[in-house]
Each structure stands twice: as structure tokens, then as C-alpha cells.
């Protein structure tokens, strides 16, 4: 067996349909803002992709803004000038487990950002959210991810939306990890704004989207200088990446049920194997609803960096959490928010699968897991003997 890739939450391999769409788009010469035939051909590719990505979330294509990725989509959404019933959003509330691009607060001043806690399972505390909203006399923007990128825990977005709207606020949902893994409907979820990223669903890196549920919701452009994306995001569109995004979205929508069923079976096989080999291993968020492709696990006494390197040397790619936080010595902010002891959190590794993952690859992971655990146990015994 060649290398095994189990880090789909960081970036999914390019879907064949997305690769074909990108290659075809690279042959289209025109600028999508040009009115001649070549320009119209490029524009057609962009608009076809817009239709496909919007369909993945049940949105109106006219309310979708293409960006360079999920981080830019989040930054575009998080602006005090986003209007809530004609009111300026003077404050930003974010859950403690959000992606770093949301925790950074976009264009809000640090003094105007508040964090909402989560429970030990990593689920946002809705009662705390309501209390914060009740105490506010200003317009509020709330940002809550659909599913966490590290634990896979699915958040109660609909319930949060009801609370936010009851207090006249605006809800932004970072759905980057959820897209293609659970059904998403922007209206059913009650989201006012939703962020997506192409490469998480098998599209090309370099494309993302911010979607509005209601066209009347005003967006303050982050990148200015041209009229692209109906004035919401200046700059010539990345036609090849956008075309690939559309193809990936169409495939993800068509195959959602089948892919989710397969990944659920794979996760059951993976976690049963981990528990059989190491009964004291902790699988975070296992008591609540999670994405079927995500397992965040830790073993007391192990260090994540040691495990990640060990797996890599044995040909298996996993991660120690969010790829956007890799290289940092501090434990995961997500696990810290859940109250996980720092010593245990330092050993957490994330295994994330996708539509192409096989049973044999899961078995290969378990084989390496057992070997590394045995090696760590041997070292520990030697240390005690010394």
C-alpha cells in the first residue's frame, strides 16, 4: 500500500470532476468582466459555478459572493457595517471553538468582541448566548460554526438562529467543514450569512464563498477597486478555481447521502479499533452529534507531534488539529474551551476521512497506531525501571 491520506479536514483531494472543470477553464482566455465573446464564455463558467455552489446550500445564486477561500469569506462577513434590521452591528459574539479567522474578529475592534463558552462536549452554551444578547442594546453579529473542524461536533445552529433573531441580531455560520458532510440549507438553518471553502469539498485551493440569505443584508466590501461580484469583492475572478468549486459542489450534493453512509461506517471501524487497542484513549465529542468523517483522539502520556511524525514516517498523513494552527506549541484552543486538561490535549490527533477512504486505509492507521502505542509503552516502562 502506498501513502494513506487521512487529513481531509485540512484539504480534500481534488475531485475528478473539479480537475476536469479547472483544466477546461484554463483554456478560456477571456476576462469574465469583458463583454466580448471570450469574456462572456468566462462569465458563463463563473455563473454556472455560482448556481452549483448556491444549490449546495439552498441559496439564491444572486446572494453569493466568490472569495479566495473560507478565511476571506469569514473576514468579509465579520464587519460592524453588516446591517441588522437597519442597525449597525456594534458588537461581535463568537463561540470559543471557532476557526482562528473568526476568533480574529474580522474588522471588529478587540474591545467589541465577546466569546461564548461551550460545554465539555464542545457544544455552544445557548443559555450564555441568550444572556449576552439580552444585555446588549446595540446591533449584534453572532458567528457560530456549523461543525467544528477539530472535533467534528455539530453545533445547534437552528436553535442559535432563533435566539439571535429574537434579539434582532445577525447570524453568520462558518460552514467550511460541514459542507459536503451534512445537509446544508441556509434558510432551514436560519443563517443570515454562510461561509464555504472549495478545497474542503474537493475543489481547487484558492476559492471560497460568502452567501447571504437575504439580498437586503448589506455587505461592506473587504477588497475594493472594481465592480466584480456586484461590488462586494473587487478583482478578476479566479475562473479555473471557481469552475472547479462548482463541479465539486455539484458532485458533493449529488453524492451526499452515499458518501455520508460510507464515512459513517469508516468512523465506526476506526473508533472501534482504537478502543479495542487502547481502552483508555479519549475520543472527544463522542457523546454528541459529530461529522461522520472526523475523529479527534488522545492518549494520556502521548504527544501529538510525536504521533504525527510517527504516522508520517509510516506513510500515514494525519494532523494534530487545525492546519491553520499547526506548528504552535500551545494545546488546541478548542479542547481548552471544552475544559480538557492541557496534558491530555497535547496528545490529541485528528483523523479525518473522505469519499475515497477505504477500509484498508483505516486498518493501516490502526496497525500503525498499535505499533506507536506499544513503542510509547516500552519507553515508559524503561523510564520507570531507570
Q: Are 221 and 231 in contact (CB under 8 A)?
A: yes
Q: Are 28 and 41 in contact (CB under 8 A)?
A: yes
- Per-residue model confidence as pLDDT tens digits over 16-25: 999 999 999 9
d(C-alpha 246, C-alpha 331), whole Å: 36
> Would you call 255 a catalytic residue per the annotation?
no
Domain with CATH 3.90.1150.10 in the chain: 4-12+257-380
pTM, two decimal places: 0.94
Q: Could you give the 3-state DSSP secondary structure of residue 349? A: strand
d(C-alpha 202, C-alpha 187), whole Å: 24
Query: How are beta strands 316-317 and 4-5 bridged, if at all?
Result: parallel
Dihedral of CA atoms 337, 338, 344, 349 in degrees, nearest 10, equals: -90
pLDDT at 384 over 60: no
Q: Are 189 and 173 in contact (CB under 8 A)?
A: yes
d(C-alpha 145, C-alpha 193), whole Å: 11
pLDDT at 222 over 60: yes
Mean pLDDT of the chain: 93
Domain with CATH 3.40.640.10 in the chain: 16-250
d(C-alpha 45, C-alpha 253), whole Å: 19
* Closest to 207 in 3D by CA, of 198, 219, 220, 216: 198
Question: What CATH code is assigned to 4-12+257-380?
Answer: 3.90.1150.10
pLDDT at 385 over 50: no
Residues 6+ apart with CB under 8 A from 168: 84, 85, 87, 139, 140
Question: What CATH code is assigned to 16-250?
Answer: 3.40.640.10
- Per-residue model confidence as pLDDT tens digits over 1-15: 799 999 999 999 999
Query: How are beta strands 139-143 and 87-95 bridged, if at all?
Result: parallel
Q: What burial letters (b/e) apply to 161-196, b meaning 16+ CB within 10 Å?
A: bebbbebebbbbbbbbbbbbbbbbebeebbbbbbbb
Q: Could you give the 3-state DSSP secondary structure of residue 146? A: coil
Q: What is the mean pLDDT of residues 299-312?
A: 93
Q: At CA 194, angle to CA 327 and CA 351, rounded to 5?
A: 35
Catalytic option among 23, 89, 255, 324: 324
Amino acid at each position: 500500500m502506498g501513502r494513506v491520506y487521512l487529513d481531509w479536514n485540512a484539504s480534500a483531494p481534488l475531485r475528478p470532476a473539479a480537475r476536469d472543470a479547472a483544466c477546461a477553464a484554463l483554456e478560456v482566455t477571456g476576462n469574465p468582466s469583458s463583454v466580448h465573446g471570450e469574456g462572456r464564455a468566462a462569465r458563463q463558467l463563473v455563473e454556472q459555478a455560482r448556481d452549483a455552489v448556491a444549490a449546495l446550500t439552498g441559496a439564491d445564486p444572486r446572494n453569493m459572493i466568490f472569495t479566495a477561500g473560507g478565511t476571506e469569506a469569514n473576514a468579509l462577513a465579520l464587519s460592524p457595517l453588516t446591517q441588522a434590521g437597519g442597525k449597525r452591528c456594534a458588537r461581535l459574539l463568537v463561540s470559543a471553538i471557532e476557526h482562528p479567522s473568526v476568533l480574529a474578529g474580522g474588522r471588529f475592534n478587540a474591545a467589541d468582541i465577546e466569546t461564548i463558552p461551550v460545554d465539555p462536549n464542545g457544544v455552544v452554551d445557548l443559555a450564555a448566548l441568550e444572556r449576552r444578547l439580552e444585555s446588549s442594546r446595540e446591533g449584534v453579529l453572532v458567528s457560530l460554526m456549523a461543525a467544528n473542524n477539530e472535533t467534528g461536533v455539530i453545533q445547534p445552529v437552528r436553535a442559535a438562529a432563533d435566539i439571535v433573531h429574537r434579539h434582532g441580531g445577525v447570524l453568520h455560520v462558518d460552514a467550511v467543514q460541514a459542507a459536503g458532510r451534512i445537509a446544508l440549507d441556509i434558510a432551514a438553518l436560519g443563517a443570515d450569512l454562510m461561509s464555504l471553502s472549495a478545497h474542503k469539498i474537493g475543489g481547487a485551493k484558492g476559492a471560497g464563498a460568502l452567501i447571504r440569505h437575504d439580498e437586503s443584508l448589506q455587505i461592506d466590501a473587504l477588497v475594493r477597486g472594481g465592480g466584480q461580484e456586484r461590488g462586494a469583492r473587487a478583482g478578476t475572478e479566479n475562473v479555473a478555481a471557481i469552475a472547479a468549486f462548482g463541479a465539486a459542489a455539484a458532485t458533493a450534493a449529488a453524492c451526499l447521502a452515499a458518501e455520508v453512509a460510507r464515512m459513517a461506517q469508516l468512523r465506526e471501524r476506526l473508533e472501534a479499533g482504537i478502543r479495542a487497542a487502547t481502552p483508555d484513549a479519549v475520543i472527544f465529542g463522542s457523546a454528541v452529534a459529530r461529522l461522520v468523517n472526523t475523529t479527534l483522539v488522545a492518549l494520556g502520556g502521548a504527544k501529538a507531534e510525536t504521533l504525527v511524525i510517527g504516522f508520517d514516517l509510516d506513510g500515514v498523513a494525519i494532523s494534530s488539529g487545525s492546519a491553520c494552527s499547526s506548528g504552535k506549541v500551545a494545546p488546541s484552543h478548542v479542547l481548552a474551551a471544552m475544559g480538557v486538561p492541557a496534558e491530555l490535549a497535547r496528545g490529541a490527533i485528528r483523523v479525518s476521512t473522505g469519499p475515497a477512504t477505504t477500509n484498508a486505509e483505516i486498518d493501516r492507521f490502526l496497525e500503525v497506531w498499535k505499533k506507536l502505542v506499544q513503542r510509547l509503552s516500552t519507553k515508559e516502562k524503561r523510564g520507570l525501571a531507570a
